[in-house]
Amino acid sequence: MYYKLSGVVKKVDYTDSAANSSAISDHVRFIRVYATTDCFITISNPAVTATNAATPIAAKDYEVFKVTEGQIVSAIRSASNGSLYISELTE
């Protein structure tokens, strides 16, 4: 399946403390996430703080997730501080 980049990219800088994105925009059903270092994420509404028991994301790779508007992405580092880029996608 192919998706169109909506032009909205959210950046979340994470450390040993979890950081949250702003809410996913209306009419967005998928996001692509890219992490600069290994991290863990949660996607929920209301926000659930990411922990090292959450979904792992490998550094310098991307994953696509189905979402609903208003959800929030939370991220926390695995070992090194980094940034999570969240690209909102449309069909």
Instruction: Give the span between the Cα atoms of 75 and 68, in whole angstroms.
Output: 18
Average pLDDT over residues 5-28: 95
pLDDT of residue 1: 65
State the pTM of this model: 0.92
- Cis before residue 56, ω within 30 degrees of 0? no
1 or 24: whose pLDDT is higher? 24
pLDDT tens by residue, 24-83: 999 999 999 999 999 999 999 988 999 999 999 999 999 999 999 999 999 999 999 999
28 in Cβ contact with 87 (< 8 Å): no
pLDDT score at 3: 80
Closest CA to 88 of 14, 15, 27, 13: 27
3-state secondary structure of 23: coil
